[in-house]
Amino acid sequence: MIRHAVMVKLRDDADADHIARLLDGFRSLRCPGTLAYSVGTDAGLREGNWSFLVVADFTDAEAFRGYDADEEHNRLRGELAPYVEQMARCQFEL
pLDDT-based confidence at residue 79 (cuts at 50, 70, 90): very high
**Which alpha helices (H) appear in the chain, and where do they start and end?**
16-27, 61-69, 71-80
- The domains of the chain, with CATH numbers, are 2-93 (3.30.70.100)
pLDDT-based confidence at residue 28 (cuts at 50, 70, 90): very high
What is the C-alpha separation between 81 and 3, in angstroms, rounded? Answer: 22
55-70 residue pLDDT tens: 999 999 999 999 999 9
Q: Is 48 left (phi over 0), alpha (psi -120 to 50) or beta?
A: left
User: Given this model, what pLDDT does residue 84 score?
Assistant: 98
| Identity of the residue numbered 78 | G
Residues 6+ apart with CB under 8 A from 41: 23, 51, 52
| Identity of the residue numbered 75 | R
DSSP string computed for 51-70? SEEEEEEESSHHHHHHHHH-
